[in-house]
Amino acid sequence: MLFVLSAPSGAGKTTVAGKLLERVPGLCRVVTATTRQRREGEVHGVDYLFMSQEEFKEGIERAFFLEHALVYGNYYGTPRDQVMKNEEMGIDSLLIIDVQGAKRIREQQDIKNVLIFLLPPSFEELRRRLLGRGYKDTNLEERLRAAEKEIACAKHFDYIVVNEFLDHTVDALTHIIMSYKHTRERFLKSAESLKDEAIRRVLRELECVY
Based on the number of CB atoms within 10 Å of its own CB, is 73 exposed (0-12), middle (13-18) or buried (19 or more)?
exposed
Q: What phi and psi, each to the nearest 5 degrees, are found at residue 5?
A: -110, 120
Question: What pLDDT is attached to residue 82?
Answer: 92
Burial class of residue 181 (count of CB atoms within 10 Å of its CB; 0-12, 13-18, 19+): middle
Q: How many CB atoms lie within 10 A of CB 98?
A: 20
pLDDT of residue 137: 67
Structural domains in the chain, CATH included, are: 2-30+92-205 (3.40.50.300)
pLDDT at 124: 86
Q: Which residues of the chain have pLDDT under 70?
A: 134-135, 137-138
Write down the pLDDT at residue 111.
80
Residue type, 81: D
- pLDDT of 172 reads 96
Cβ–Cβ under 8 Å, residues 76 and 98: yes
CB atoms within 10 A of CB 118: 24
